Amino acid sequence: MTSFAATSEAPAVLTVAYDIGEPGGAGWDAAVRHRNMWGKLYTGIHFLDDDTVVLSFRPADNRQRWAEWERVRAAWIMEDLAA
């Protein structure tokens, strides 16, 4: 798994690439877990090839209302990637 954005602030769009072709399915499991953490409505899914998927987590339309919660969710995802 590779993260392209690692900040303490919730980015405008957090983009993460996952290796879903690895044995044991850890990349696929992480991608599903992170999509569920962020929410399906605001997660873009892009398959680069058979073994790589990129998820783009974007903020809600009402940015001011959800900014703090998005910072928390981004931190959860980044902590999970670092583990």
The sign one gets for the Cα dihedral 31, 43, 12, 73 is negative
In tens, the pLDDT along 21-54 reads 987 789 999 999 999 999 999 999 999 999 999 9
Distance CA 27, CA 17 (A): 9
Query: How many domains, in total, are found in the chain?
Result: 1
Q: What is the pLDDT of residue 19?
A: 94
Determine the structural domain holding residue 27 and report its residue range.
Answer: 2-82
Q: What is the pLDDT of residue 11?
A: 55
The CATH code of the domain that includes 61 is: 3.30.70
Tokens of 83: 């583990």
* Chain center to CA of 24: 20
CB atoms within 10 A of CB 48: 10
Question: Model pTM greater than 0.85?
Answer: no
Distance CA 9, CA 21 (A): 30
